[in-house]
Amino acid sequence: MGTGQRSNSYVVKEAAQALHNMKYEIAKDLSAANIINTAPIQGDYWGYMTAKDCGHVGGQMVKNMILAAEQSLSNQAVASVQTSFNATLGYQKQNDTLPSSNLNLNSLDSKY
């Protein structure tokens, strides 16, 4: 390896296997849709794959991770709003619920 170059490393090492599995699942889906050709993959070696096909897989991985992050943030925001409304209205116990005629904040995620 040349001077100044370094290898890639995972920020969360526990995610390595999940990302590895995700790569193969996406490659399988893209191959089934006739978008890429996965025949050149030999075991875990992708060196015979075209850069274009590898780019399709990597791009789809990024799209899926962004979608998961957006959904997670949306769920957190809805939960935070629900907690704030419940606290404001005095429903601080887990068993207390708002009357069904009030806002249904769970539907915000699907609408927005």
Tens digit of pLDDT for each residue in 76-112?
999 988 888 888 887 655 555 555 545 555 555 554 4
Banded pLDDT at 11 (limits 50, 70, 90): confident
Residue 26 near residue 56, CB atoms below 8 Å: no
Taking the C-alpha atoms of residue 55 and residue 30, their distance in angstroms, rounded to an integer, is 12
Sign of the alpha-carbon torsion through 87, 90, 93, 94: negative
pLDDT tens digits along 43-62: 999 999 999 999 999 999 99
Residue 69 near residue 45, CB atoms below 8 Å: no
Is a pLDDT exceeding 90 seen at residue 42?
yes
Domain residue limits, the chain: 13-111
- Cβ neighbors of 57 (< 8 A, separation 6 or more) are 23, 26, 27, 30, 36
